[in-house]
């Protein structure tokens, strides 16, 4: 499934067992969709990565080197996903960050996962997860390497007919999917949960919010979701996916979903690969 | 600083960039103090590791293989620390755990850090950290690989005269140090915070609680700590360390601290290496 990998710019497939990415999850990642060698949301991914480096006090990345390496690992793949991982590099034992870390940079190319055209047309089935997202404002929004909550949530089901699980915070507010962000149309307003306490602020979410400035970022309760007229998921890898059911609650893709799917296509992303 | 490393039983220093330990922090670790090739708290470390594997649904480790490998990487080191890291192994992209993972096992030997005899005699200085521990009952107590909160907390100071930082949860309750557990004597009772919402349930803490069955596991507020007659830290690597000051609040090592230091020595741990 994986193709080419570069570690600090060199073809490689291994990193040191003393890398702080392994020891403590001390780093960040991005998963970026490429189509015919182009990543329409590249600059948004770089924005989030820069912001993550600032907040974790990691040295800032070199976007030109990353773009060159992403091009290298996706060469010849029409529909690709690039995972960029940045860690605080090799360290001595102990949590104290080295004063001048040498960042480890892993750039890996994969085939993009294929979703059926039917999923984009009729929507996907979604479930509620029992695993809650804990509140940590210092890390909220970032795509950092501490992802055990998502692993535990995703381990709650194996039925391939269920495409995603929704996660709430400890207070019972809906936050996101395990690997996607959530949007709903409620009282004719487009709403997506605030992610200043937990969750990953997706690049696709940022793109959709920019495309719909009238959208509202706000707390969202499961009872609000139950009365939504449209529900969809956003993901930089999968695009705009209508939700046809959350548990027993059924939805029908509506005009807002369709308009944002069209926006997604206009960016250059196909949504009917299989 | 590091000596020998075994990856899945073979001398090696690298792991796959696709290891889920790096990708998601999907794994656990232990840091175990060895003296002349013996780890007095070995069975407690194995208990915690087993419990962690159970809760993260990782295959159970083979303690005999781990002990053999720990002996190998500490051979000839009088005062050693062994870090054992277990991850869910190499995985495809995505949070879903492989149904039958092949665990990655890293066993690395280090020289034990040397604390001064003065630290054990007079105590160490400690500060308050601004970084809070988030509440996640599903992970609380485990020594898992998602340790960004500890990294951020430890990055708050670089003054070598400050040996440790204390962390509170979001509600302002004192939980632990960044790399140690906290005990206090308050109204003549030995108290240590409950760790069912966050924090790492240390092996040294478990040993001291077993040695003092009358000790109380309970929520601890900073105002309680301020009026404690004794405060000390526990760590399987560093032992029982009296606290001489938390910020501006000064303490003097007292009889409970001294008795538990003696317990520590009786287990076979020296506390005056340097």
Find, among B193, B118, B197, the residue nearest to B161 by Cα: B118
Return d(Cα B186, Cα B227) in angstroms, integer: 7
- Domains: count for chain A: 2
Task: Kindly state whether residues B254 and B191 are assigned to the same domain.
Answer: yes
Task: Kindly state whether residues B159 and B242 are assigned to the same domain.
Answer: yes
Minimum Cα–Cα distance from B5: chain A residue: A17
Determine contact, residues B56/B19, Cβ cutoff 8 Å: no
Burial of residue A110 (CB within 10 Å: 0-12, 13-18, 19+) is buried
Lowest mean pLDDT of A87-101, A146-160, A186-200, B202-216, name the range: A87-101
Determine contact, residues A202/A234, Cβ cutoff 8 Å: yes
Mean pLDDT value of segment A64-72: 98
- Give A 207-266 residues with CB within 8 A of chain B: none
Mean pLDDT value of segment A197-210: 98
Q: Which of B22, B139, B179 is opposite residue A15, by nearest beta carbon?
A: B22
DSSP string, B52-86: HHHHHTPPPP-HHHHHHHHHHHHTT-SEEEEEEEE
Query: Residue B274: its pLDDT value, please?
Result: 44
Q: Please check whether residue B114 touches A, CB under 8 A.
A: no
Which of A81, A111, A141 terminates a domain? The answer is A111
Return d(Cα A78, Cα B154) in angstroms, integer: 44
pLDDT tens by residue, A18-66:
999 999 999 999 999 999 999 999 999 999 999 999 999 999 999 999 9
Task: Kindly state whether residues B128 and B25 are assigned to the same domain.
Answer: no
Encode burial over A143-157: b for 16+ CB neighbours within 10 A, e otherwise.
bbbbbbbbbbbbbee
Mean pLDDT value of segment B207-226: 97
Q: Are B7 and A21 a contacting pair at CB < 8 A? A: no
Task: Kindly state whether residues B134 and B246 are assigned to the same domain.
Answer: yes
Q: Are A18 and B2 a contacting pair at CB < 8 A? A: yes
Find, among B187, B163, B166, B186, the residue nearest to B241 by Cα: B163
In a domain, B272, yes or no: no
Determine contact, residues B81/B33, Cβ cutoff 8 Å: yes
In a domain, A76, yes or no: yes
**Chain B nearest CA to A151, separation (Å):** 5
In a domain, B34, yes or no: yes
Task: Kindly state whether residues B66 and B190 are assigned to the same domain.
Answer: no
A123: containing domain:
117-266
Q: Are B14 and A15 a contacting pair at CB < 8 A? A: yes
In a domain, A260, yes or no: yes
Q: Are B22 and A85 a contacting pair at CB < 8 A? A: yes
Mean pLDDT value of segment B101-123: 93
Question: Cα Rg for chain B, rounded, in angstroms?
Answer: 19
Q: Are A1 and B31 a contacting pair at CB < 8 A? A: no
């Amino acid at each position: 499934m994986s193709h080419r990998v570069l570690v600090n710019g060199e073809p490689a497939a291994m990193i040191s067992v003393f890398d702080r990415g392994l020891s403590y999850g001390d780093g960040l990642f991005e998963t970026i969709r490429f189509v015919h060698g182009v990543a329409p949301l590249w600059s948004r991914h770089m924005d989030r990565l820069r912001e993550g480096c600032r907040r974790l006090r990691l040295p800032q990345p070199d976007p030109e080197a990353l773009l060159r390496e992403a091009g290298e690992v996706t060469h010849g793949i029409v529909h690709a996903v690039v995972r960029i991982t940045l860690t605080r590099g090799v360290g001595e034992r102990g949590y104290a960050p080295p004063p001048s870390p040498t960042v480890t940079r892993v750039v890996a190319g994969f085939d993009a996962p294929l979703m059926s055209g039917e999923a984009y047309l009729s929507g996907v089935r979604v479930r509620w997860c029992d695993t809650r997202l804990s509140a940590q404002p210092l890390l909220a929004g970032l795509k950092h390497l501490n992802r055990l909550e998502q692993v535990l949530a995703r381990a709650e089901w194996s039925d391939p007919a269920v495409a995603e699980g929704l996660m709430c915070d400890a207070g019972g507010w809906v936050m996101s999917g395990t690997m996607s962000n959530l949007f709903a149309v409620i009282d004719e307003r487009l709403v997506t949960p605030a992610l200043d306490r937990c969750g990953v602020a997706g690049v696709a979410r940022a793109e959709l919010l920019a495309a719909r400035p009238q959208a509202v970022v706000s707390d969202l309760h499961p009872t609000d979701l139950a009365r939504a007229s449209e529900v969809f998921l956003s993901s930089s890898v999968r695009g705009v996916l209508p939700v046809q059911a959350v548990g027993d609650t059924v939805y029908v893709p509506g005009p807002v979903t369709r308009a944002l799917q069209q926006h997604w296509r206009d960016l250059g992303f196909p949504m009917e690969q299989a």
